[in-house]
Structure 1
Amino acid sequence: MSSTTAPKLHKFILFVPYAKDSPRSSVLPRHRAEIAPLVESGVVKIAGPFLTPESRVESEDAPQTPFGSCIIYEAENIDVVRKIVESDVYYTSGVWDRERLMLVPFLPVTPFP
């Protein structure tokens, strides 16, 4: 009887600023819809926008100015994540500044949610 073991999963963090004059608001609903299955399956652990230091998070009504995305993925290797990133509507439509995109391995040393 053969048994298969699940592949070891690693974490990767994406930091990418938004491109100047990006079409973010027009593709945000599609981005959220496409990332939802990745969240449900556990591939995306955490995702959200970075806000400028002047932004206020104390209230939903307070001014908030997003300037980029942060996503933590869990996958077998960085190539798997790179394919996911490059198929994201934020990537294909020019929301993300591809020249400044950083996708790197992430090794948490504290418990991970």
Structure 2
Amino acid sequence: MSSTTSHIFVVWAPDDEAPGTFEKRMKVRDEHATRAKSDPTVRLAGPMLSPESVTGGERKLVGSMFLIEATKLDEVREKMEQDVYWKTGVWDKSKLTILPYLPVLGTTKVV
């Protein structure tokens, strides 16, 4: 019996630290953003910044974060593996983290 219960998953996709990653990110960013915006299962998404970004340091992109609705973790992984950031090596594939998220306060609905 398969589960049809929908869950929210949080995804942390850190950028690869290799030289040239930022340039790769910028080259395919529009394609990445268009795909995410058109996907109704993506509840929230955006780039993550380095801690120094809030203390006056360089505003550096260090990865991507998503809240995604799905029935299984494997669905989320497949979605990430189809993303242009995955395919072009922007994200560090060995550090991709996907965890079930249990909303307690607030909402995951984007107005």
Q: How many residues align?
A: 101
Structure having the higher Rg: 1
| Post-superposition CA distance 1:67-107 (Å, at most 9, x none) | 11110101111121111111000111100001111011111
Structure 1 range deviating more: 91-100 or 48-57: 48-57
C-alpha distance in structure 2 between counterparts of 1:10 and 1:86, whole Å: 19
- Percent identical pairs in the alignment equals 34
TM-score scaled by structure 1?
0.80
Q: Which amino acid aligns with 1:103?
A: I
1:92 and 2:95 matched: no
Q: Which amino acid aligns with 1:8?
A: T
The gaps in structure 1 that reach 5 residues or longer are 1-6
Which residue is 1:106 aligned to?
A: 101
| Post-superposition CA distance 1:56-75 (Å, at most 9, x none) | 49xxxx95211111101011
SS at match of 1:24: helix
Instruction: State the superposition RMSD in angstroms.
Output: 2.0
Which residue is 2:29 aligned to?
A: 28
SS at match of 2:107: coil
Runs of 4+ in 1 over 4 A off after TM superposition: none
TM-score scaled by structure 2?
0.81
